[in-house]
């Protein structure tokens, strides 16, 4: 049957016959070796079918063209903006649609449309950014579930700003290996805030105690996060902590006591402005005077210098194989070498010394408890 016969038939044919005609015309258009005139005539006829009142006819067109890289652009674009049952074929499969087309569909479409785009085999950084900025939660969950979607770090940050309060989104983010360290820290804060606001938590603990416990949990989570963060992400994480006001003296002491010396070096680079190689060399074998100068350049209080040096010496010995100790023993050394008496010290320095002793004791007791817990679990598993 010629294309002219199809066109003559369409005017008085049933919906089923028009569906058959749509499939046949699409096959003619896509068939290699066809004359240029035949393809032009088929394209004209297919364009007319875009206005067919029966969605089944337009669905037949979508099925025929959704997997072809040679489908007519205007037909693909029109079908991608049709009702969702039809548009799904194009939005999910068509490689003819550009990022601009997809972003337009995201902006103009409903949540279901956005969800289909988010689940495509290839989702570019630009399309992900558009989804994160304007899409509904159902589409965001589909995007996070799509391991092949490209999501930029800045888009993850925006996502947490928009949807960090939603448990389902937080759960997907927590399991997402693409999430950068600073976003993972922000997510932990969101989780802590959500727990603190729970009625049952407030009823059992009270507001003040709940805030204190969640704050302590966030600090511990931050330490664990540092251990799992690749060095290339240190600068972004440090900047994030600084902006939040979480890069405190107490946090730095905890980092060093726990043996995260590489991260401590990155902190010193950020605070002092000195280059990484110099800071690293000083941490590896620098003398006490040089370390003190580095700490001063980083703005670390005088009360921190001695415990930091003691910890660095201990971790150097561990790295060189001279010692086999962990955070608990290192913290105890920091406590023991901290000046126990306040004689000869100024009032300010004495107070700072007392605060440091209190902090180190707290870290030490936490380390004992953690070691005991690990030992018990190891015995239970044996």
For residue range 272-304, list pLDDT tens digits in order. 999 999 999 999 999 999 999 999 999 999 889
Question: Which token pair is 225?
Answer: 């996060």
Q: Is 250 helix (H, G, I), strand (E, B) or coil?
A: helix
CB-based contact 149:177 (threshold 8 Å): no
pLDDT value at position 157?
A: 92
pLDDT at 8: 63
pLDDT the model gives residue 141: 97
Query: 324-380: per-residue pLDDT in tens?
Result: 999 999 999 999 887 554 445 455 555 556 688 889 999 999 889 888 888 788 888
Query: Does the CA dihedral 236-240-241-245 come out positive or negative?
Result: positive
How close are the terminal C-alpha atoms of the chain, in Å? 78
Cα–Cα distance, 304 to 295 (Å, whole number): 9
Check pLDDT > 70 for residue 228: yes
Confidence at residue 94, expressed as pLDDT on a 0 to 100 scale: 95
pLDDT for 9 equals 65
What does residue 48 show for φ and ψ, rounded to 5 degrees? -65, -35
Nearest to 46 by CA among 6, 15, 81: 6
Q: How much is the pLDDT for 287?
A: 92
| Alpha carbon 207 to its chain's center | 30
Instruction: Say yes or no to pLDDT of 111 above 80.
Output: yes
Distance between CA atoms of residues 250 and 219, nearest Å: 10
Q: 31-40, 182-191, 257-266: lowest mean pLDDT where?
A: 31-40
* pLDDT beyond 70 at 211: yes
Distance CA 31, CA 43 (A): 12
pLDDT interval class at 68 (50, 70, 90): very high
SS3 230: coil
Instruction: Report the pLDDT value the prediction gives residue 25, as an integer from 0 to 100.
Output: 85
**Residue 40 — very low, low, confident or very high, per pLDDT cuts 50/70/90?**
confident
Looking at residue 107, what is its pLDDT? 94
Has residue 238 got a pLDDT over 70?
yes
pLDDT at 82: 94
Burial bucket for residue 79 (CB in 10 Å: 0-12, 13-18, 19+): buried
């Amino acid at each position: 049957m010629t294309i002219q016969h199809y066109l003559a038939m369409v005017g008085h044919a049933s919906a089923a016959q028009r569906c058959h005609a749509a499939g046949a015309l699409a096959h003619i258009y896509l068939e290699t070796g066809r004359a240029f005139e035949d393809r032009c005539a088929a394209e004209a006829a297919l364009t007319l079918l875009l206005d067919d009142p029966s969605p089944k006819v337009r669905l037949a067109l979508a099925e025929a063209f959704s997997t072809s890289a040679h489908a007519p652009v205007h037909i693909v674009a029109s079908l991608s903006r049709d009702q969702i049952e039809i548009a799904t074929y194009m939005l999910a499969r068509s490689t003819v649609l550009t990022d601009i087309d997809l972003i337009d569909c995201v902006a103009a479409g409903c949540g279901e449309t956005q969800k289909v785009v988010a689940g495509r085999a290839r989702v570019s950084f630009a399309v992900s950014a558009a989804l994160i900025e304007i899409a509904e939660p159902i589409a965001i969950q589909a995007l996070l579930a799509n391991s092949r979607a490209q999501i930029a770090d800045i888009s993850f940050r925006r996502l947490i700003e928009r949807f960090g309060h939603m448990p389902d989104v937080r759960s997907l983010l927590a399991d997402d290996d693409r999430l950068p360290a600073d976003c993972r820290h922000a997510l932990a804060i969101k989780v802590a805030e959500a727990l603190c606001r729970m009625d049952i938590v407030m009823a059992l603990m009270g507001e003040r105690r709940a805030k204190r416990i969640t704050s302590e949990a966030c600090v511990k989570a931050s330490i664990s996060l540092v251990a799992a963060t690749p060095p290339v992400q240190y600068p972004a994480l440090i900047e994030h902590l600084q902006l939040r006001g979480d890069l405190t003296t107490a946090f730095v002491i905890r980092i060093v006591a726990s043996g995260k010396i590489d991260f401590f070096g990155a902190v010193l680079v950020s605070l002092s402005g000195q280059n990484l190689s110099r800071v690293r060399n000083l941490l590896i074998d620098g003398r006490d005077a040089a370390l003190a100068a580095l700490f001063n350049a980083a703005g670390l209080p005088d009360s921190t210098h001695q415990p930091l040096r003691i910890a660095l010496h201990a971790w150097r010995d561990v790295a060189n194989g001279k010692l086999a100790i962990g955070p608990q023993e290192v913290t105890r050394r920091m406590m023991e070498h901290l000046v126990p008496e306040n004689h000869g010290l100024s009032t300010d320095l004495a107070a700072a010394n007392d605060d440091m002793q209190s902090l180190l004791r707290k870290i030490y007791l936490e380390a004992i408890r953690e070691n005991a817990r690990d030992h018990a679990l190891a015995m239970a598993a044996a």
